Amino acid sequence: MTKKSIFQLINAVLLLLLTITTIYPFVNLLAVSLTDAKEIAYMTGLDIIPKKLSFDVYKALFTSPQVYKAFFSSIYITVMGTVLNMVLTIITAYALSRKNFYGKKLYMIFLIIPMLFDGGLIPNYMLIKNLGLIDSYWSVILPGTINVYYLMLLKNVFQSVPQSIYEAAEIDGAGHFTMIWKIAVPLAKPGIITIGLFYAILRWNEYFKPLIYINNPDKWPLQVLLRQFIVDSDKGALFGTQTLLNYSSGATAIPFRSLQAGIIIITVIPILLLYPLLLKYFNNVTVGAVKE
Amino acid sequence: MINTNNKILKRIYKDRYYYYLLIPATAYFIIFHYIPIYGVKLAFEKYRIFGGNQWVGLAYFEELFTSPAFYKALMNTIIISGLKLLIGMPVPLILAILINEVNNKYFKKYVQSVVYIPHFLSWVVIAGIFTMILSPVNGMVNEIIKAFGGSSVSFMTSTKHFRGVLVVSELWRSAGWDSILYTAALSNIDPTLYEAAKIDGANRWQRNIYITLPELLKTMIVVFILNLGFFLNAGFDQVFNMMNDSVISVADIIDIYAYRIGLLNMNYSYATAVGLFKGVIGMILIITVNKIAKKNDAGGLY
């Protein structure tokens, strides 16, 4: 073997090991969640094949009203939040990308100041309280309406649209909303999809705002439920105490560890489903922006 | 004078629709960013539910600067941030070089796709995963330790190991994603440099040391400077989801301290003062490092 191919081999093995440390925990958790309750004691952190296949964990999770409601809350926050994000980010990025209107420089400073200094935890909490948004989904959705990084990214993408196309449309009597919808958005499709996916993932991962602003457990998203269940080890949060007693005293008692593994998997799956789409589009957009 | 004013007004009138389009964003930033910025005046007031707040000047800052708990939190922040900065800096760079050396384009794509994944998971999920793989009973890491004849370590509840867990989990989550910057820098290196070096008889190793590394070090300096701007953010979401009462002495960073004082003990004014202290230092750091980055022709943060 030549020196070069030995290096190539060591490098490949090293990178392969690295990817295994990323994937292995997920496969292990999946295997634990799919193992029959009676065999779970024999499943260690190294096993990646279920000892005896059983879907009891997922049956229990999906029939739990608490999990069901949390799933709905997560979907609601993600969908409504991402739509709001996209509408406002697109409109604003379009306006900033087209013309050097009077005061534009000042407006950019207005956008940058909140990146440098933010009021902190308590002033934000007071604001939500004073707006009467406590216990509402909007306490989670509204505060993250525009992410300035994504706004600037989209503005740069829009700036690559040739002005002459807009000018031709203007002569034909097109208004701004027509130009956004018919020209800017279709021409910036990879950028729009990438930013939409980034927003959706941020929304799905939202846990702190619902934790401090939403007191009603029926409105908690999955992330908060997961936190209660894993970080605070609060078994009652998942099933309600009564149902939990039934589960742990019945013949098919489901071990806590299996439930933990199952709910992590449920929380991660939507992101893994979006991930291939993200990989497809983001390369052109982000690497382009980084190079700038 | 009247003439120029007229010109400006005419220009504004002509572009009026652009201003209309900015109304929703402006409203959003005023309500959800500028009102909380104004809200920091609570740090100078005693919070009262009825009858309005009472102005107390710098009383809460005096309390802050004489509080041992605050100094402890500040020290924890500096230590945790420092560890992450020193250890977290070279790893993505090395990763980018290793990935760049892969010849098979499918394997390269596979490695990149996998190492980016953890970046998209929330710290709640990652805390859940780490709690399980570090479990002293049957967690993956302890199984490996036992297989080599060692005895179980309770990583998550040990003050000796917890900061290490923070650094490693941060690397697990971000090293892949952070390597993107270096990958972009690598693709910007002029290929003729390598050709020339080859003709001069430089081997692969020498080409990496004398061409690739200096180019990447430039990027690393920029990343380092910009990260320095966020030095007081030792990672609230991470610590908040991974810590427990037994490690609080090594994990209580400023943000966690403000959360405990403010939302758990309901001492709103004092917690606002803690937040303001951190905000002002953070702002000074960001503006300073941004100036340095721009001076070094590195392109700033904004």
Could you tell me if residue B53 is inside a domain?
Answer: no
Query: Cβ separation of A43 and B138 shorter than 8 Å?
Result: yes
B29 to chain A, closest Cα gap in Å: 8
Q: Does B135 sit within 8 Å of A120, measured CB to CB?
A: no
| pLDDT at residue A251 tops 50 | no
Could you tell me if B139 and B33 lie in one domain? no
Q: What is the pLDDT of residue A248?
A: 52
Residue A47 has pLDDT above 60, yes or no: yes
Asked if residue B219 is part of any domain, the answer here is yes
The residues, ordered by sequence, that sit 6+ positions from A202 with a Cβ below 8 Å of its Cβ are: A144, A147
Whether B123 and B208 map to the same domain: the answer is yes
Q: Does B18 touch chain A (CB under 8 A)?
A: yes
B171 and B128 both lie in a single domain: yes
pLDDT exceeds cutoff 80 at A150? yes
In chain A, the percentage of residues whose pLDDT exceeds 70 is 89
Helix axes B123-133, A256-291, angle to 10 degrees: 130
A259 touches chain B (CB under 8 A): no
Q: Is B66 found in the same domain as B29?
A: no
- Does B9 touch chain A if contact means CB atoms closer than 8 Å? no
State residue A238's pLDDT score. Answer: 64
- pLDDT value for A148: 95
* B118 contacts on A by Cβ (under 8 Å): 22
Helix, strand, or coil here: A117? coil
- B92 domain residue, yes or no: yes
d(CA A66, CA B219) in angstroms, rounded, equals 47
> What percent of chain A has a predicted confidence (pLDDT) above 90?
61
CA distance B136 to chain A (A): 10
Please tell me which residue of chain A has the smallest CA distance to B205: A4
Inter-chain residue contact B15 with A292, CB threshold 8 Å: no
Residues of chain A contacting B180 with CB distance shorter than 8 Å: 286-287, 290
A123 touches chain B (CB under 8 A): yes
In a domain, B56, yes or no: no
Amino acid sitting at position A155? K
**pLDDT-based confidence at A292, cuts 50/70/90?**
very low
Q: Which of A59-68, A215-224, B259-268 has the lowest mean pLDDT?
A: A59-68
Give the nearest chain A residue to B100 (CA atoms). Answer: A11
Question: Which residues of chain A neighbour B101 with C-beta distances below 8 Å?
Answer: 7-8, 11
- Tell me the C-alpha distance between B187 and B285, whole Å: 31
Is residue B51, in this structure, part of any structural domain at all? no
Whether residues B114 and B33 share a domain: the answer is no
CA gap B272, B268 in Å, rounded? 6
User: A16-20, A118-122, A238-242 — which is least confidently predicted?
Assistant: A238-242
Residues in A touching B262 (Cβ below 8 Å): 121-122, 125
pLDDT at residue B2 in the model: 63
A143 to chain B, closest Cα gap in Å:
6
pLDDT, residue A136, reads 96
Mark yes or no for CB contact B184/A23 under 8 Å. no
Residue B257 forms part of a structural domain: yes
Q: Between these two residues, B8 and A92, which has the higher pLDDT value?
A: A92
Residue that has been written with the tokens 């700036």 in this structure: A159
Residues B17 and B163 in one domain: no
What CATH number corresponds to the domain at position B174? 1.10.3720.10
Which residues numbered 143-182 in B keep a CB inside 8 Å of some CB on A?
Answer: 143-144, 172, 176, 180-181
Cβ–Cβ gap A92/B111 under 8 Å? no
**Per-residue confidence (pLDDT) for residue B188, from 0 to 100:** 83
CATH no. for A56-291: 1.10.3720.10
B46 forms bridges with which residues in the sheet?
A: B54
Most confident range (mean pLDDT) of A82-91, A171-180, A251-260 is A82-91
Q: Is residue B54 part of a domain?
A: no
Is A53 in a helix, a strand, or coil? Answer: strand
Q: State the span(s) of chain A assigned CATH 1.10.3720.10.
A: 56-291
The structural domain count of chain B equals 2
Q: Are B257 and B122 in contact (CB under 8 A)?
A: no
User: What's the confidence (pLDDT) of residue A283?
Assistant: 67
Instruction: Give the pLDDT of residue B221.
Output: 83
pLDDT for res A256: 83
**Is the pLDDT at A65 greater than 90, yes or no?**
no
Among the partner residues B17, B25, B144, nearest to A92 by beta-carbon distance: B25
CB-nearest partner of B102 from A12, A28, A279: A12
Report the complex ipTM.
0.90
Residue B19 or residue A244, greater confidence: B19
* Chain-centroid distance, C-alpha A185: 23
Per residue of chain B (302 residues), what is the pLDDT tens digit? 567 778 889 888 988 899 999 999 999 999 999 999 999 999 999 998 887 888 998 999 999 999 999 999 999 999 999 999 999 889 999 999 999 889 898 999 999 999 999 999 999 999 999 999 999 888 899 999 999 988 899 999 999 999 999 999 999 999 999 999 898 888 888 888 888 888 888 887 788 888 888 888 888 888 888 788 889 999 999 999 999 989 999 999 999 999 999 999 999 999 999 999 999 999 999 888 888 877 765 555 55
Residue B155 lies in a domain: yes
- Global confidence as pTM: 0.91
Provide Rg for chain B, Cα atoms: 25
Is the domain of B197 the same as that of B241?
yes
Q: Answer whether B92's CB lies under 8 Å from B181's CB.
A: yes
Averaged pLDDT, A196-207:
96
Cα–Cα–Cα angle for B114, B118, B119, nearest 5°? 110
Q: When comparing pLDDT for B7 and A132, which is higher?
A: A132
Q: What residues 250-269 of chain B have any CB closer than 8 A to a CB of chain A?
A: 255, 258-259, 262-263, 268
Distance in angstroms (rounded) separating the CA atoms of residues B127 and B129: 5
Are residues B31 and B84 part of one domain? no
Predicted confidence (pLDDT) at residue A288 exceeds the cutoff of 50 = no
Q: Are residues B41 and B143 in the same domain?
A: no
Top-confidence residue, A20 or A100: A20
Task: Tell me the chain A residues in contact with residue B253 when contact means C-beta distances shorter than 8 Å.
Answer: none
Tell me: do B151 and B183 sit in the same domain. yes
Smallest Cβ–Cβ distance between A44 and the set B128, B138, B258 belongs to B138
Give me Rg for the CA atoms of chain A.
24
Determine the structural domain holding residue B132 and report its residue range: 62-295
Same domain flag for B176 and B139 = yes
Q: How far is CA A115 from CA A147, B29, B99, B210, in A?
A: 10, 11, 33, 38
Please check whether residues B90 and B223 belong to one and the same domain. Answer: yes
